[in-house]
Structure 1
Amino acid sequence: MKQLLLEIDETTEAKINAAAKTAGLSTQQWLRRIIDEKTATGWPKSIKALAGTWQDAPFAEELRAAEGQDIAREDF
């Protein structure tokens, strides 16, 4: 596995450490997750799993079916 040397300021380091701790991850795991998320080339599995789980919105014709017929418009 490759190693990467990254120079950051103390404020950024504190933010990274706090975010990793909140996520329950090591700093290395947290950084790897962020890099994976930001460089993803496809949809996450959690998003793909949503497909087909809700009904499609009705088409305009279905919504207007109970409203009756429009009257003829005047010619200009």
Structure 2
Amino acid sequence: MKQLLLEIDEITEAKINTAARTAGLSTQQWLKQIIDEKTITTWPNSIKAFAGTWQDAPFAEELRAAEGQDILREDF
């Protein structure tokens, strides 16, 4: 396993330690979890489920088809 040296200020360190403790994880486990969450390379199943569930918006011609023909405008 590789090691990483990360220099952070005391306030950030305290935030990390508190978040890890709250999550019931070691600091190393908590940081790994955050990195894993932020570097997802595939779409989650909840997002994949949306594919094909909506219809495409109609084109302008389709929207205006029932409006009839425009009248000719006067020249200036």
TM-score (normalizing by structure 1) = 0.57
Which residue is equivalent to 1:60? 60
For this pair of structures, how many residues does the alignment match? 74
| Shift, 1:25, TM fit | 5.8
- Render the CA deviation track for 1:46-67: whole Å, top value 9, x for unaligned: 4333222222222212222222
TM-score (normalizing by structure 2) = 0.57
Residues of 2 paired with 1:30 and 1:47: CA distance?
A: 25
Q: Indicate how the Cα distance of structure 1 residues 32 and 9 shifts in structure 2: closer, same or farther if over 3 A, else same.
A: same
- Render the CA deviation track for 1:27-72: whole Å, top value 9, x for unaligned: 33332233334445x4532433322222222221222222212224
Gaps of 5+ in 2: none
Q: Write the mapping of 1:1-76 to structure 2, written as runs, cut at 5 A.
A: 1-20=1-20, 24=23, 26=25, 27-40=27-40, 42-45=41-44, 46-73=46-73
Q: Indicate how the Cα distance of structure 1 residues 2 and 62 shifts in structure 2: closer, same or farther if over 3 A, else same.
A: same
Q: Indicate how the Cα distance of structure 1 residues 7 and 44 shifts in structure 2: closer, same or farther if over 3 A, else same.
A: same
Residues of 2 paired with 1:19 and 1:58: CA distance?
A: 48
Q: Which amino acid aligns with 1:64?
A: R
